[in-house]
A and B are shown apart, each in its own frame.
Chain A
Amino acid sequence: MLKRITKLTLEYRWHFTASAVFAFTTAVTSLFIPKLLGQGVDDAIALIEGRNASRGEIESLLLTTALLVVLVSTLRGTTGFGQMFLGETLSQRVSNQLRMLYFDKLQVLSFSFHDRVHTGQLMSRGLSDIEGVRMFVQSGLVQIVRVFVMLVAAAIFMVQIDLQLAILSLSFVPFMAYRSARLRLQLRKVWREIQDALGDLTTTMQENLAGIRVVRAFSAQKYEESKFEVTAREVVELRMNAARTQARGGGAISFSFLIAWAVVLWVGGEKVISDQLTIGELTQFFFYLALLRFPVRMLIMIINSTARASSAGGRIFEVLDIPSEIADDTSSAPLEVTDGVLRFDNVSFSYGDAPALRGVSFEASKDHTVGIVGAPGSGKSSITNLIPRFYDPTHGTVSIDGTDLRKATILSVRQAIGLVEQDPFLFDGTIRDNIRYGDVTASAEKVVAAASIAQIHEFIDSLPDGYDTELGERGVGLSGGQRQRVAIARTLLTDSPILVLDDSTSSVDAGTDARIRGALKELTTGQTTIIIAHRLGSLQHADEIIVLDNGSVVERGSHDELIALNGHYRALWDLQRGRGVEGGE
């Protein structure tokens, strides 16, 4: 995972190099300061002892050192700023790129994926996990250069002063390396758990908010709170776990580091006593050690962010790597619709194990309408799902003008089909934007025309803001029937040669429904239409009506034929005309 994140980061080669160079400079200049300070101390000692140089000379030496310290510090601050700034922008670039990749992937992943994975889960990945990766790039990848450089450079400087002492003062490094590796593994596991739990929490929240009306209707606030509490508590416990692991591991590392201080003081002190080392040199050692506090502290943070990133990255790449079940291949060619003949040829289909469609065949063509009726779950929507290739059939073929849909590009197939879903989703935004969703460049007249056919124009016009009225999420602010009609207008706007209406007027009264159909008939020509409806009046004029039961076609024919057949359709018809199945009220 980290490799992939690193690879992604390295795509911004110059950016990365620049921040690494800054990190490098910062680290090196940091190390010069103790050198200068040590020198200063030595100068001061020389001053006291008044040997081998005149006082004025040493004083000016001291002054020069002081000036150098100021200079080097400023340099360090500037490069530090550069490193931080570049590091952060780099991390933002990487995370934003990841965000876009993720976004694009979600847009093309098949419906069966979206059926399975909850929005809350996807959101939690898109929000927390990408942030986790970002923090790694910012405080991990770039800082690690700095930590490493500081360690190495400090080692070199120290070795130059005194080899034995240098080895002693750096003796904590191997232990630190070992301990960090272990810590990283431990934390990675914990972080994975945290992220999964966060995903659950997000899902719980998301669901609660999406279903707020149900929650209210059942006064289930208490119940929802208890659901929330369970998941939220779990997150707390897991995070505690992470903190404990980190404190334990980090503590051990810091401890070993401090031990090095004791050792240096003792051994170094003995050396000074036995005149193998000057006080100034020993002081320098301490300055270096003091300097190393920062990388040690950083390192513990880096380990944490690395661990978090490798599991967060895992969760992101997991999604990015899923192949879309429905995708174009090299042989796909754009579909050309001429006669608009939509054909189902012995199509069987199942979402999982249980078949949803069994051997369904029918044909619809230009200016013809096929009606579909059937009980809940009989497979009507499944048929509509196969037409724009939201799913592929398990057996048989769906074709348009003789071209198997699987051989055509997805874009061309979907452009050819205008589907109004049974449970249409409207977006948060203006009514105009919603209607123009399939064609953002559509002119105002076109929008009005589509809305007029859908019999919603008058209503929209009556609103104070007209087409600019803002809708809430899922079209809150409209009544059920208004929402359905906006969805119809949205689909009509795309002028697709094949129109599929899946129970799209269930919340619309019969009069308005009739007017919609009337307008459709009058104002559009050359369309192939599939209508699913429970109100049989809506289907009466279809050229063919098929009756589905449990995934199979059980009756088919025109309205009159089906009435004459005296079967299932006839029973429905009688019921709706006010005669009960048992022959009356």
Chain B
Amino acid sequence: MSTTSNNSPQTKQPNRQRPANAEEEHGKLNESDEEMFAQLDSTVFKRFFYYASPYKKQMLIATLAVIGFTLANLALPLLVKFGIDDAINNTNSNLLKVIAISIVGVAGIYWFTNFLQNVLITRVALTVLYDIRADMFLQLQRLALSFSDKTPIGALMARMFGDVGALQEMLESSIEIIGDVLTLFGIIVILLVLDVHLALVTLAIVPALFLIRIVWQPFARRAFLRMRRNSSVVGVYLDQNVSGIRVVQALNRQEENTGIMGGKVHTFFWSAVRASRLGGVLMPTVELMTGTALALVLVVGGGRVLSESIEIGTMVAFLLYVQRFFEPIRTLTMHYALLQRAVASGHRIFELLDIPLEVEDKSDAKPIGDITGRIEFKNVTFGYDPARPILRNISFVAEPGQTIALVGPTGSGKTSITALAHRFYDVQEGSISIDDHDIRDVTQQSIGGVMGMVLQEPFLFSKSVLENVRYNTLNATREDVVAACRVIGAHDFVMQLDDGYDTTLEQRGSNLSVGQRQLLSFARALVADPKILVLDEATANIDSYTERIIQDALRKLLEGRTALVIAHRLSTIRNSDQIIVVQDGGIVEIGTHDELVASTGLYSQLWQTNYTSFDDIADNANDLTGMPASST
């Protein structure tokens, strides 16, 4: 649905260099004040119509209903005119009755068409919005993680709800807008038919209205866009504070935050005031014109009545119509603000939909199929910011069935290696393959099928334990879930929860201890039964005793699976087939535990710290020369 970027699917050569500022150019939503307003309207409207086009039939019926409705609307003054001119002036009571009854008929049509158009247009509007929202959702599922890394959830939510809401308001009132526009044309026609001379005089002021609007529009649009942005900023801040509420309270930031929020709300307020001032300023203008037009009808029309060019009823009809004529203009003026707001929102929505996917399946990508589980990193260089690589020249091979440990100081790049293995990001240089497939040649979807991950930060959904552990492995039975939980030692505490496996967890699993969350996310990876298992600090928040039990139980389970294990507590990975020591984004040592301990490299130093019973921690720590405090 979303237009793919100009940088079409991946080129073949693996060491494709992205432009240094690719992120800044494409991967970001614009929340700042500077903005191009060029041909905003037409594109936004075109895209709407694109979304609405599948509903042509409904729209056609709806339009017919609107026409019926408008005709009914327009017929009313006309009937009144006939009533006055033909029936009352000719003292024809019977005709009067007939006309009164036809008004009732018209009212019936009015009612029916009104209902029809409302329901139909709302249906189309809601469906279109649903489609747009679904596309946004889909887009968010496909966008590279580098996008989510930089974009606050609150900002996305503001677009998904605030902006889509503004569109909804506009689309729903589009019934009235369409009706109003039709009414306008209808009235012009009727006026011309009734009396060309008077009509032309009356309508002479309309061009002035257009002129004013042309001047007004750019100001209004900018004001509305700014208002939407500021509103989004308020939402983002609210979201942040709710999510980080524990920190807020622990550090007593309430007052400070109230001040900050107050500032944001204040900015939003003034942008809203500005927008509403601009939105409202058309009103007196329109009223002045209505007044002038009515006055013209009185003076000119009065003259024409006198010269017997028109009947008095015609003049009444004119007055009624001119009032009617400006009524839609007046509501259009009100709606115009809505429309501008919606265009601003539409712009923000399509901006999101148009962000190019940085990590994308090739057009000929196939599922990876059955694999043995061999992973190879070949000269991989990668940086979240391409100008600053944080992994350099990483090469290693994990043979099928092997357990490979990644160790190294914090920030050395271990998690990043696992992220690359799953193609969360694309490498800048080098290649990664699973069996013989370069991971860029297979579908991303299928990588998830063969690789199970326990992420460094356990994340659980606010669903039942069962649904969490089963997650995407929809064919897993309850027994599978229970079995995985038993292996991991989570069964006991799950059974102690109020409803056992059916207990609904709170947000992020906050009604469990952190270790318990970790156990469940571990179980979740096991249930998926993957050929390759990635454990990123999967037992960091778990005591060694429990960990040991897990390891014993896992040993059998891991047979025939390739595992990448990250741990800081070295006792966790001592038995691995290979230990890869990462430092500053490069591999400094590879070997088994015994080999590495025997050498005097980084690993043996790390092991010492882990293991020695130090009497003077500070001294001991300072002895660890050659090991930087953090990766730089």
Q: Say whether A associates with B.
A: yes
Query: Shortest Cβ distance from B419 into chain A, in angstroms?
Result: 8
Q: Which 9 A-B pairs have the closest CB atoms?
A: A219-B448, A77-B287, A73-B291, A376-B515, A481-B410, A518-B618, A258-B107, A77-B284, A66-B295
* CB <8 Å contact, B614 and A514: yes
* B24, CB-defined interface residue at 8 Å: no
Query: Shortest Cβ distance from A229 into chain B, in angstroms?
Result: 7
Which residue on chain A has the smallest CB distance to residue B103?
A262
* B110, CB-defined interface residue at 8 Å: yes
B137 CB contact (under 8 Å) in A225, A266, A479, A511: A225
* CB <8 Å contact, B410 and A218: no
* CB <8 Å contact, A259 and B409: no
* A45, CB-defined interface residue at 8 Å: yes
* A323, CB-defined interface residue at 8 Å: no
Q: Using Cβ atoms and an 8 Å threshold, which residues of chain A touch B627?
A: 511
Query: Shortest Cβ distance from B80 into chain A, in angstroms?
Result: 6
Q: Please measure, in the bound complex, the distance between the C-alpha atom of A272 and the C-alpha atom of B85, giving whole angstroms.
A: 12
Q: Please measure, in the bound complex, the distance between the C-alpha atom of A221 and the C-alpha atom of B134, giving whole angstroms.
A: 12
* CB <8 Å contact, A219 and B444: yes
Interface residues in A, total, Cβ within 8 A? 193
Q: Using Cβ atoms and an 8 Å threshold, which residues of chain B touch A37?
A: 294, 298, 319
Q: Please measure, in the bound complex, the distance between the C-alpha atom of A22 and the C-alpha atom of B87, giving whole angstroms.
A: 41
* CB <8 Å contact, B449 and A352: no
Of A211, A427, A474, most buried by chain B (CB within 10 Å of CB) is A427
* CB <8 Å contact, B291 and A509: no
Query: Shortest Cβ distance from B548 into chain A, in angstroms?
Result: 6
Which positions 549-585 of chain A face chain B at CB distance < 8 Å? 568, 571-572, 575-578, 580-581, 585
* CB <8 Å contact, A69 and B295: yes
Q: Using Cβ atoms and an 8 Å threshold, which residues of chain A touch B290?
A: 73, 77
Which positions 242-258 of chain B face chain A at CB distance < 8 Å? 242-254, 256-258
A214-255 to B contact mask, C-beta < 8 Å, 1/0: 111111111111001100110010011001101110111011
A514 CB contact (under 8 Å) in B247, B258, B277, B609: B609
In terms of DSSP, what is the predominant structure of the interface of chain A? helix
Beyond A66-B295, A252-B111, A381-B513, whether A537 also contacts B471 by CB under 8 A is no
* B363, CB-defined interface residue at 8 Å: no
B289-303 to A contact mask, C-beta < 8 Å, 1/0: 011101110110110
Q: Using Cβ atoms and an 8 Å threshold, which residues of chain A touch B249?
A: 107-108, 111, 388, 390, 414
Query: Shortest Cβ distance from A44 into chain B, in angstroms?
Result: 5
* A10, CB-defined interface residue at 8 Å: no
Query: Shortest Cβ distance from A426 into chain B, in angstroms?
Result: 8
A459 CB contact (under 8 Å) in B258, B614, B630: B630
* CB <8 Å contact, A81 and B281: yes
* CB <8 Å contact, B613 and A540: yes
* B373, CB-defined interface residue at 8 Å: no
Q: Please measure, in the bound complex, the distance between the C-alpha atom of A503 and the C-alpha atom of B247, giving whole angstroms.
A: 16
Beyond A65-B298, A514-B609, A534-B569, whether A273 also contacts B247 by CB under 8 A is no
Q: Please measure, in the bound complex, the distance between the C-alpha atom of A474 and the C-alpha atom of B153, giving whole angstroms.
A: 10
Interface residues in B, total, Cβ within 8 A? 209
Q: Using Cβ atoms and an 8 Å threshold, which residues of chain A touch B422?
A: 216-217
Beyond A255-B111, A259-B104, A482-B630, whether A104 also contacts B254 by CB under 8 A is yes
Q: Using Cβ atoms and an 8 Å threshold, which residues of chain A touch B622?
A: 515, 518
A266 CB contact (under 8 Å) in B97, B287, B521: B97
* CB <8 Å contact, B605 and A74: no
* CB <8 Å contact, A73 and B287: yes
* B76, CB-defined interface residue at 8 Å: yes
B52-60, B344-352, B428-436, B452-460 - interface stretch: B452-460
* CB <8 Å contact, A512 and B291: no
* CB <8 Å contact, B265 and A273: no
* CB <8 Å contact, A427 and B240: yes
B8-16, B37-45, B142-150 - interface stretch: B142-150
* B447, CB-defined interface residue at 8 Å: yes
Query: Shortest Cβ distance from B445 into chain A, in angstroms?
Result: 5
* CB <8 Å contact, B617 and A287: no
* CB <8 Å contact, B93 and A127: no
B503-542 to A contact mask, C-beta < 8 Å, 1/0: 0001110111111101101001000100000000100111
Which positions 607-628 of chain B face chain A at CB distance < 8 Å? 609-614, 617-622, 624, 627-628
| CB < 8 Å A-B pair total | 596
Q: Using Cβ atoms and an 8 Å threshold, which residues of chain A touch B411?
A: 459, 478-479, 481-482
* A321, CB-defined interface residue at 8 Å: no
Which residue on chain A has the smallest CB distance to residue B473?
A218
B158-166, B184-192, B209-217, B556-564 - interface stretch: B158-166
Which residue on chain B has the smallest CB distance to residue A286?
B80
* CB <8 Å contact, A115 and B288: no
Query: Shortest Cβ distance from B267 into chain A, in angstroms?
Result: 11
* A458, CB-defined interface residue at 8 Å: yes
Q: Using Cβ atoms and an 8 Å threshold, which residues of chain A touch B252?
A: 411, 414-415, 438
Of B84, B138, B511, most buried by chain A (CB within 10 Å of CB) is B84
* A59, CB-defined interface residue at 8 Å: yes
Which residue on chain B has the smallest CB distance to residue A424?
B247
Beyond A219-B449, A258-B110, whether A437 also contacts B238 by CB under 8 A is no
* CB <8 Å contact, B110 and A217: no
B125-133, B195-203, B395-403, B477-485 - interface stretch: B125-133
Q: Please measure, in the bound complex, the distance between the C-alpha atom of A89 and the C-alpha atom of B107, giving whole angstroms.
A: 38
Q: Using Cβ atoms and an 8 Å threshold, which residues of chain B touch A462?
A: 632
Which positions 57-112 of chain A face chain B at CB distance < 8 Å? 59, 62-63, 65-67, 69-74, 76-78, 80-81, 84-85, 88-89, 92-93, 96, 99-100, 103-104, 106-108, 111
Which residue on chain A has the smallest CB distance to residue B87?
A269
* CB <8 Å contact, B493 and A377: yes
* CB <8 Å contact, B265 and A96: yes
* A118, CB-defined interface residue at 8 Å: yes
B115-123, B218-226, B374-382 - interface stretch: B115-123
Given contacts A269-B100, A576-B571, 7 further A-B contacts (CB under 8 A): A40-B298, A218-B472, A218-B524, A427-B244, A455-B629, A474-B243, A514-B620
* CB <8 Å contact, B299 and A107: no
* B170, CB-defined interface residue at 8 Å: no
* A282, CB-defined interface residue at 8 Å: yes
Q: Using Cβ atoms and an 8 Å threshold, which residues of chain A touch B394?
A: none
* CB <8 Å contact, A99 and B284: no
A154-162, A201-209, A329-337, A400-408 - interface stretch: A201-209
